[in-house]
Amino acid sequence: MNINLSEEAGVRYLHFGSSWIQGAMRIARPFALELDYTREMMVPLLLHGDDWPRKVLQVGLGAASITKFLYRCRPQAKLTVIEIEPQVEAVARQYFKLPDDPARIDIRYGDGADFMVESKQRYDLILIDGFDAEARTGRLDTVPFYLDCRARLADGGLLCVNLLSRRKDFGKSVKRIAEAFDGHAIAFPSCESGNAIAIASTTVSPASTLDELKAAAKHLKQESGLNLLPTLARLAESRHLAGGVLRL
């Protein structure tokens, strides 16, 4: 795999041999989430308390943005990352300040789909953000894979998936996730970048009102600097917050 770096206006970008951006870091704030979609993948934090999650599984390391944020923001969390390309870890350590803390960050090389089949562990939060150089997901966007993700979730656990489409058409992907999770799935309106974030639950999650979500977002902003209030404003305009209540 060809791995390239670029820098512009104080931001360092990761590329896999193409113009597609696979990750980014603002050099002055290495633990902040620079890209919109990485920020939106933290929405599950609004649905639980500060002591959640304790066990996280992430497929696709990229520039380690999400890994670094959770490492700092959720010090109780142990993070397992599945990365198919060993070079990506080396680049993340050298250029994107991935912490060297094997007690909390366990990086394993392999195919995320194979890991889901073979693993016997359960996780509170599973994050899927795996693409090749042409922004293709392969097996990571199939009903069997999402079913395997469901089997790896602990009680009350959440799956969060970054969906990327050149056509900004995520309907088929969302249907696959919903099929695997018996309809307990939602997808946010897509970001300007063309990404959309889907969240799924193994069970009917307790309903959260918009006011509760806003209060959680303000708390998260205060403790981490991450501002999810704009995301909630977009979500409030979607059908997922009908009546001011979010249900999974």
**Alpha carbons 16 and 77: distance in angstroms, whole number:** 29
Cβ–Cβ under 8 Å, residues 145 and 152: no
Tell me the residue type at 166. Answer: R
Does residue 53 have a cis bond before it (omega within 30 degrees)? yes
Q: Please give the order of strands across the beta sheet that includes 21-26.
A: 4-8, 11-15, 21-26
Question: Catalytic: which of 124, 129, 141, 148?
Answer: 129
Cβ–Cβ under 8 Å, residues 61 and 16: no
* Residue 101 falls in the annotated catalytic set: no
- Residues 216-241 as b or e (16 or more Cβ within 10 Å = b): bbeebeeebebebeebbeebeeeebb
- C-alpha 205: how far from chain center: 19
- The residues annotated with a catalytic role in the active site are 129
